[in-house]
Amino acid sequence: MTQAQFNLEESEIQFLNRYQEYGFRDQDELIRAALKKLRQELETQSLEESADLYAEIYEQDRELQELTESALLDLP
Sorted by where each begins, the domain ranges of the chain are 10-73
| pLDDT over threshold 80, residue 44 | yes
Residue 56's alpha-carbon distances to 30, 44, 60, 61, in angstroms, are 39, 18, 6, 9
pLDDT (0 to 100) of residue 29: 98
**Interval 23-34: pLDDT, tens:** 999 999 999 999
| pLDDT over threshold 80, residue 76 | no
**Is-contact 30 19, C-beta < 8 A?**
yes
pLDDT (0 to 100) of residue 4: 93
